[in-house]
Structure 1
Amino acid sequence: MSFKPNSGDGTVPEWIKSSYSGADTPSCVEVAATPETILVRDSKNPNGPRLTLAPTTWATFLPYASDASEG
C-alpha cells in the first residue's frame, strides 16, 4: 500500500481501507498519512484506539506485510 500524505493542515486524516478487504470482510485495517505520522485503525471501530507510526517505521513494516500475504 502506498499513498501520498494529505494536503492541507493535516487535522482530518483521509483513511484508506486495505486493498485486501472486500465489502463483506469483517476484519479490516485502515491507514491514514499525516505530514508527520502514519495512523492505523480498525475499520469496525473508527473512534477506537489508533496506532501511530513514524513514516520510516511504516516503510520498514510494509515488505513484511506483503510477504505474509503470499505465504
Structure 2
Amino acid sequence: MKKKKNIVIVNLDQYDGIPAGNDIFYLCLNCRSIMQSYPETYSTCKCGNVFVDVDAGRGGANDISNLLILKIE
C-alpha cells in the first residue's frame, strides 16, 4: 500500500526568500500553472508571472500576491 501524501501551502517569509526543493512547487494564481521549484532549465509559467532561473539560483514572481507555494509531505 502506498503512503498517502499531503499537499500543504507554505507561508512566504519575505526575509528568507522563496523556498525551493524537490518537494516544493509553485502555483501561479494568474494562469493556474504549476511548476517545479527546481527545474533542470530556466522556466516560467504560461503567463510569465512566476519564473525560476536555475543557473542564477533564483526564482520569483512579478506579482508575488499571485504566487502560491506548495509542498508535498
TM-score > 0.5 by shorter chain: no
> Which of 1 and 2 has higher RCO (CA within 8 Å, sep 6+)?
2
User: TM-score, normalised to structure 1's length?
Assistant: 0.28
Structure 1 or 2: more helix by fraction: 1
User: TM-score, normalised to structure 2's length?
Assistant: 0.28
